[in-house]
Amino acid sequence: MVKSRSRGSNFDCVTCIMRKRSDWSVLGRDEVTLLANGQSSFSYGSGEPVYSMGESGDGVYCVCSGTVAIRRLDAEGNSVLLQLAYPGDTLGYEAVLTGEPHRCNAEALGPANVCHIKSLTVKELLDKNPNLGLQFLRRTAASLDDAQDKLVHHATLSNRAKLAHLLLILMDRYGRRTADGTSTLHLPVSRRDLASMIGARHETVSRIIGRFESDGIAYFSGRSVRIPQVNALVEEIRPQLVG
């Protein structure tokens, strides 16, 4: 179900509720007007690219609704899902700042609304309000921290532990705690993407899922996951301590 990208008119920065929770919250009243003038909003269908590796950055993107996947492909075509972007997140500013082409693909994981702010406007705003740049800097530093944490996990955890950890992270956004202490989770991504996020093959993920079910830790049905005790997942993360 891949609709083609369509221009939407429903989103306007001045009234946008996401703006207050985003990097753009540092802007003053007339700066927001400038932002609104340099902006266009688009609707995307599932799987549709927002931007692609190699394209030059003609502006930045701000997620208004939905989830956007940030991926990188290597020379052999392996796709790695690096990050999930949510409403309020700003994407693609690296390319605008450096003048280099985009290093990643950004793709809507479901119906999504994403606004585009053209480079000129971004540069004017950065110039007018230095806090915007500092805000981007804080955000980028947080992403770097996140990426470095992932590197540590890739270096020290088993695939099973990494999958448990990933499920816990996805729980934060997509999970729901039911009355009797069990939790449920609707996965935003396929098994293949799940696998690429932890640096494993999709067959391996299938097998780990099988073992989670045998061990009573998590039960999968399509993209729905039922987790009787969240704490059991936490236990999975620390390497086996003997004693």
Partner DNA sequence: GACACGCATTGACTAACGTCAAATTTTGTT
Partner DNA sequence: AACAAAATTTGACGTTAGTCAATGCGTGTC
Contacts of a second copy in 70-109 (CB under 8 A): 72, 74-76, 78, 80, 82, 93-94, 97-98, 103-104
Residue 226's CB is within 10 A of a number of other CB atoms, namely: 14
φ, ψ of residue 61 to 5 degrees: the values are -125, 140
In whole angstroms, how far apart are CA 105 and each of 92, 154, 163?
10, 22, 23
Binding mask 184-223 for a second copy (x = CB under 8 A): ------------x--xx-----------------------
The interface region with a second copy, picked from 23-31, 45-53, 125-133, 228-236 by CB under 8 A, is 125-133
97 binds, among a second copy, DNA, none (CB under 5 to 8 A by kind): a second copy
- Give whichever of 103 and 223 is closer to DNA, judged by the CB atom: 223
Are 165 and 157 a contacting pair, CB within 8 Å?
yes
Are 106 and 68 a contacting pair, CB within 8 Å?
yes
Chain residues binding DNA by CB under 7 A are 1-2, 46, 158-160, 190-192, 199-210, 220, 222-223, 239, 242
Categorise residue 194: left if φ over 0, alpha if ψ from -120 to 50, beta otherwise.
alpha
CA contacts within 13 A on the Cβ side of 235: 8
φ, ψ of residue 62 to 5 degrees: the values are -125, 120
Closest approach, Cβ 2 to DNA, in A, equals 6
Please report, as ranges, the residues that interact with a second copy according to CB under 8 A: 72, 74-76, 78, 80, 82, 93-94, 97-98, 103-104, 126-127, 130, 133-134, 136-138, 140-145, 147-156, 196, 199-200, 238-239
